[in-house]
């Protein structure tokens, strides 16, 4: 097994992402939807940040923008998300690089996955809408057990 990269593993403190940016939604704001995660959702978002997002951000080396993170049921409906979406459980994020090509970030993520540096349950690139969807569910798809918590 490859060694896991140095990682603080401590949630949001000192990391690259905030709970606010993982829950913010312009659509929710415009439509008056209260997109508030439960404690369980927050725990899942913390795991997503620890096991995927912070590691990818560190490897990528420049800012990554979250275009969609947690979605409550109403918001998920409003954006046309699938009913079983990991976004509704706080286990998924759509991201794009602030600088650099979307495809390059996708290659970076795939490389990390192949090397065992991150776990992924879902990952795809939507070039048209300009984001990469990543989901991490430690229970359902424990491909890299050494990084689950
Ligand atoms: Zn997504």
Query: Across residues 80-97, what is the average pLDDT?
Result: 94
- How far apart CA 120 and CA 13 sit, in angstroms, is 23
Query: Across residues 52-71, what is the average pLDDT?
Result: 96
- How far apart CA 37 and CA 16 sit, in angstroms, is 19
How much distance in Å is there from the Cα of 68 to the middle of ligand 1?
7
How much distance in Å is there from the Cα of 36 to the middle of ligand 1?
17
How much distance in Å is there from the Cα of 89 to the middle of ligand 1?
12
- Read off the pLDDT band of 138 (50, 70, 90): confident
Residue 143's pLDDT is what? 52
Residue 116's pLDDT is what? 86
- Read off the pLDDT band of 6 (50, 70, 90): very low
User: Which domains are assigned to the chain?
Assistant: 38-138 (3.30.1380.10)
Residue 10's pLDDT is what? 60
Bridge partners, 3 (sequence order): none
In this predicted structure, the answer to whether residue 75 has a pLDDT above a threshold of 80 is yes
In this predicted structure, the answer to whether residue 35 has a pLDDT above a threshold of 50 is yes
- Read off the pLDDT band of 4 (50, 70, 90): very low
- Scored b (16 or more CB within 10 A) or e, 67-98 reads bbbbbbeebbebbebeeebbbbbbbbbbbbbe
How much distance in Å is there from the Cα of 135 to the middle of ligand 1?
8
Q: Percentage of the chain with pLDDT > 70?
A: 86
């Amino acid at each position: 097994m490859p060694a896991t990269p140095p990682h603080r593993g401590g949630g949001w403190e000192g990391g690259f992402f905030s709970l606010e940016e993982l829950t913010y939604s312009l659509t929710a704001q415009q439509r008056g939807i209260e997109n508030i995660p439960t404690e369980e959702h927050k725990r899942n978002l913390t795991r997503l940040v620890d096991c995927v997002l912070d590691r990818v951000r560190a490897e990528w080396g420049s800012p990554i923008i979250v275009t969609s993170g947690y979605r409550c049921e109403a918001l998920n409906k409003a954006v046309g998300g699938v009913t079983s979406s990991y976004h509704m459980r706080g286990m998924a994020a759509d991201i794009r690089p602030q600088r650099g090509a979307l495809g390059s970030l996708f290659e970076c993520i795939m490389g990390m996955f192949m090397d065992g540096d991150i776990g992924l349950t879902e990952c795809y690139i939507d070039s048209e809408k300009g984001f990469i969807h990543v989901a991490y569910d430690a229970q359902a798809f424990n491909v890299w057990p050494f990084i689950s918590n």
